[in-house]
């Protein structure tokens, strides 16, 4: 850390007070999975559900990150790592402010997610593996990206010509195949409720 930078975290209101104000425990819910697996759809459903139950949350995804704080990054392995590093630091700030973060990012490798976990903190990083087989994601092809990747128009696309390393021991695993969006989202909701509920 640079010599002249002095963190002031100990002089400002602490996280407990902010969590108390918001009547919730803050966590970072980290959705990982292939493109089209259902991360954003589940996170968006959950955002509405949690909000209606009185929780205060912030959703982070490619749309608000890649167009803003990470708009200078590509999809090379190095830049993907930097992307996740910045997202993790941003999530940590939200967490310290008592806010629950819903993050949906492919975050394809074990190393990348380990880095996120280290930045955010073991206790607060909740890994949610949205486990949808590649064939199903490719059939859904929500954004037409698989078609482009198969045609060679996109290089280094996760699942096609760039690896996806599944989590070994995720906190939550959701198998969306044959499930409705609501069923998948409620499954996550039931798992996380005890973690975010103020005692």
| Residues belonging to the active site | 107
Q: Which stretch binds ligand ADP (CB under 6 A): 20-28, 40-48, 154-162, 190-198?
A: 40-48
CA distance 125 to 92: 10
Which lies closer to ligand ADP via its Cβ, residue 29 or residue 42? 42
Candidates 188, 190, 193; CA nearest to 32 is 188
Rule CB under 6 A: say whether 181 interacts with ligand ADP. yes
Rule CB under 6 A: say whether 83 interacts with ligand ADP. no
Given 25, 27, 39, 113, the residue binding ligand ADP (CB under 6 A): 39
CA distance 114 to 27: 16
Given 93, 142, 166, 193, the residue binding ligand ADP (CB under 6 A): 142
Which lies closer to ligand ADP via its Cβ, residue 55 or residue 105? 105
Q: 190 vs 46, 52, 58, 193, CA distance in Å?
A: 11, 15, 19, 6
Tokens of 6: 């002095």
Orientation of helix 77-96 relative to helix 110-120, angle to 10°: 30
Given 176, 187, 188, 192, the residue binding ligand ADP (CB under 6 A): 176
**Touching ligand ADP, residues 95-124 (CB under 6 A):** 104
Given 25, 26, 29, 38, the residue binding ligand ADP (CB under 6 A): 38
Torsion of CA 121, 126, 127, 129, to 10 degrees: -170
List residues binding ligand ADP (CB under 6 A): 33, 35-42, 104, 140, 142, 176, 179-181, 184
């Amino acid at each position: 850390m640079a010599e002249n930078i002095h963190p002031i975290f100990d002089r400002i209101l602490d996280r407990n007070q902010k969590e108390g104000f918001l009547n919730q425990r803050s966590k970072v819910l980290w959705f990982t999975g292939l493109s089209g697996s259902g991360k954003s759809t589940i996170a968006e459903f959950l955002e509405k559900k949690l909000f209606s139950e009185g929780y205060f949350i912030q959703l982070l995804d490619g749309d608000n990150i890649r167009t803003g704080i990470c708009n200078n990054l590509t999809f090379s392995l190095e830049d993907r790592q930097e992307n996740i590093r910045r997202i993790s630091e941003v999530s940590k700030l939200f967490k310290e402010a008592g806010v629950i973060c819903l993050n949906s990012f492919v975050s394809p490798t074990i190393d990348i997610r380990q880095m996120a976990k280290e930045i955010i903190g073991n206790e607060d990083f909740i890994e949610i593996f949205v486990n949808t087989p590649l064939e199903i994601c490719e059939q859904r092809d929500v954004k037409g990206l698989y078609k482009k990747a198969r045609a060679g128009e996109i290089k280094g696309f996760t699942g096609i010509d760039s690896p996806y390393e599944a989590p070994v021991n995720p906190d939550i695993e959701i198998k969306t195949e044959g499930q409705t969006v609501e069923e998948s989202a409620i499954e996550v909701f039931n798992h996380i409720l005890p973690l975010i509920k103020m005692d």
